A and B are shown apart, each in its own frame.
Chain A
Amino acid sequence: MADAQRPRKRPATKKVPPRTKPESDSAHGQGGPAGNGAAGAGAAGDGKPRQGTPVRPNPVEEMLTFLGHAAKALLGEEAEERLTEGLAFLRRRLTGEYEVDLFGFDKEFTEAVLLPLLRPLYRYWFRVEVRGVENIPAEGAALLVANHSGTIPVDSLMTQVAVHDEHPSHRHLRMLGADLVFRLPVVADVARKSGTTLACNEDTERLLGSGELVGVWPEGFKGVGKPFSERYKLQRFGRGGFVSAAIRAGAPIVPCSIVGAEEIYPLIAHVEPLARLLGLPYIPVTPTFPWLGPLGLIPLPSKWIIQFGSPIPTDELGAGSAEDPMLVFDLTDRVRETIQHTLYTLLTERGNPFR
């Protein structure tokens, strides 16, 4: 019984008709199984008898009807569709009728929950300015390589918003995270759902192989956890594993320079014994943390610039060159130098970090 109904309902929720007047009462037109004539049950404002919902009027019902009217009055007629969509969204989330990919990437969650939460921070707090977004290919595999900073890796989140919001094809940046990310409760969960996966060769190749845009911060904790005095000085770029992965997949490398993240939590010192005790890479001391308690977690509102550089093609190198350490080192250095130079240029252009 339930089986027979379900497949019909699901697509139906998706076809939101073009924004016509709500009075055109699509219930009649589509003639669903709801034609059982329980009139008046959910009588809406336009005075027509409503179908479906075989529930007798009762106090709860009236209350809900009132709420329905109130919502309409407050949000206007157009809000109806949005509310219906919202209901369908809630229903999908509650019943698990959504898709995740093999990596656990939950597109719906990322678009409807995570990105909207990050957007105010992106737009109004850091006032992120994006340059060279056209350097990210519109489709197909590419590897975005960026500098890492900021004590807490907010830079990766902002880059994710930048790529999704500013790029014409609204691509999702699939990021590579350290294994600590997947050990920490809550962080692990949100990271997986937002499309992050473990920074290992197998996963990188699988992502690039399926034509995804992959983001990597090869400095890792060396970059995020460096003292404020060393800001904008690139650390060692791992072992260049990301370059070999890109060569093997023939994916272009897009250098990405992020200015602004260094100033959000100026790191003064590390509490090493505590970090060792908790098994964390570092415990930061900033001008506000831990002195102001939770308030110290508020990032300073620095001005950000994210610049995507011109892509470095790797498809002409041939798959065998991934095994050539000299070539891999050279290419790694080239990417690193490009980012470093761009950082210096952007810094002079930006001037005062808190303007």
Chain B
Amino acid sequence: MSRVVLVTGVARYLGARFAKLISGDPAVDKVVGIDVIPPPFDIGRCEFVRADIRNPVLGKVIAGHGVDTVVHMNVLATPREAGGRVPQKEINVIGTMQLLAACQKSKSVRSLVVKSSTTVYGASSRDPVMFTEEMAPKVQPRSGYAKDSIEVEGYVRGFSRRRPDVDVTTMRFANFIGPTVRTPMTEYFTMPVVPVVLGHDARLQFIHEDDGLAALRLATVEHRPGTFNVAGDGVLMLSQALRRAGRAAVPLPGLASSSVGAWVRRANLASFSPEQVQFLTYGRGVDTTRMRRELGFSPKYSTAEAFDEFVQARCRGGVLDRERVHRVERVFAGLLGKQGQVDG
């Protein structure tokens, strides 16, 4: 059973929230959080150790605290978080390799939980409508976070072959969303006008931040080895999500092409990496049957509910704000003498 948990990446928002959540769990005696900078967030009873996962000193931390469960949350989604694509890749790939090397040497580690992402499935016109865990991407992502995630998962699989006695749980999360979390997607939806790919509408899935952390907690405390897609029920179309957020969309023919994408990047509006543009063009859906059956987890919020929570907190007062549209409808309905029907 889990007693001492090591969490990587606690200086980032989700890492910190998870450290706090798990440190309050009765099944866990001690939580050690590591990162290169002290966490700017509340991490509860978690003990912070300043360490770089790219440094072999990590092995000493694991041995010193007698860590039995490692939760790896330090795969960075954007270059901005790392200070450039080169350090991002180094933290993601080399960092994971070092962490796994330390785990392999350790005698105390019994279980490893990796926070991965559904970006490993890529996004293309040839995708099936729902990816199950054993499917491979139809078009292999060749850059950025998606490629890093694929490589990270590859090393994790290698580790689980070499240490079959360690339970390995890989969790592929859909995009996190909610009232407080900040990701490239949340920043995208909070832009005043949102560029979209002309003539395409992506299917999106979200996982509410609370649900995502609850799923990680479950995997950490309960030892459920395997690979799981984690996403809220249902899908939202990108156009539909934008309307729910009251945002005006600007269809651009060449969002994928370098010039428009570069302009948006330069204006610092959002960081459009090629694989994100692919995602916003074709979208992606993942099958969560295994999450329900084998992980035994059911999210509280569906994709649409999670997105609405986010809109409530972050997207009020857009051009097509829901309240405003409702008001206009009431005015028109009033003119038609059907006030009661609309207002209920």
Contact = CB atoms under 8 A, between A and B. Distances in A.
B126 interface: yes
A182 interface: yes
B336 A84 contact: yes
Interface in A1-57: 2-3, 6, 8-9, 11-13, 15-17, 22, 25-34, 41-42, 44-46, 50-53, 55
Nearest to A27: B340
A95 B237 contact: no
B129 A26 contact: no
A95 B325 contact: yes
A87 B332 contact: yes
B322 A29 contact: no
Contacts of B127: 198
A44 B335 contact: yes
Interface in B304-336: 312, 320, 322-323, 325-326, 329-336
B242 interface: yes
B282 to A, nearest CB: 7
Contact of A179 (B125, B203, B340): B125
Interface string B186-227: 000000000001111101000000000000000000000000
A217 to B, nearest CB: 18
A195 B24 CA distance: 47
15 contacts: A2-B312, A9-B344, A13-B344, A25-B337, A34-B339, A53-B330, A80-B338, A84-B333, A87-B336, A95-B243, A96-B242, A97-B244, A185-B197, A193-B201, A198-B126
Given A8-B344, A102-B285, A26 B125 contact: no
B128 interface: yes
B19 interface: no
A102 B322 contact: no
Contacts of A94: 243, 320, 325
Given A52-B334, A188-B199, A202 B344 contact: no
A65 interface: yes
B339 A206 contact: no
A24 to B, nearest CB: 10
B257 to A, nearest CB: 13
Interface size, A (range):
35 or more
B341 interface: yes
B234 to A, nearest CB: 7
Interface of B: 125-130, 135, 197-201, 203, 234-237, 239-244, 246, 253, 282-283, 285, 312, 320, 322-323, 325-326, 329-344
A184 B199 CA distance: 8
Given A42-B335, A91-B325, A52 B129 contact: no
The 9 closest A-B pairs by CB, nearest first: A185-B199, A12-B344, A42-B334, A27-B340, A96-B243, A68-B335, A44-B337, A96-B244, A32-B343
Nearest to A82: B336
Contacts of A52: 330, 334, 339, 343
B344 A11 contact: yes
Contacts of B253: 185
B338 A84 contact: yes
A179 B139 CA distance: 13
A188 to B, nearest CB: 6
Contacts of B312: 2-3
A51 B342 contact: no
A104 interface: yes
Given A52-B334, A97-B244, A104 B340 contact: no
Contact of B128 (A30, A91, A99, A200): A200
A198 B333 contact: no
A183 B278 CA distance: 11
B329 A188 contact: no
A95 B320 contact: yes
A276 interface: no
B129 A202 contact: yes
A83 interface: yes
Contact of B336 (A13, A17, A25, A44): A44
A9 B326 CA distance: 9
A93 interface: yes
A83 B339 CA distance: 12
B330 A95 contact: no
Contact of B125 (A3, A93, A183, A186): A183
Given A64-B331, A203-B129, A32 B237 contact: no
Contacts of B237: 100, 104, 106, 193
B337 A22 contact: yes
A98 interface: yes
B184 to A, nearest CB: 21
Contacts of B199: 184-189
A67 interface: yes
Contact of B244 (A16, A32, A95, A206): A95
Nearest to B241: A96
B247 to A, nearest CB: 10
Given A30-B341, A91-B325, 8 more contacts: A13-B342, A30-B340, A32-B339, A42-B339, A44-B337, A97-B244, A100-B203, A193-B237
A185 B200 contact: yes
B84 to A, nearest CB: 33
B334 A50 contact: yes
Given A95-B322, A189-B200, A197-B129, A28 B335 contact: no
Interface in A60-88: 64-65, 67-68, 71-72, 80-81, 83-84, 87-88
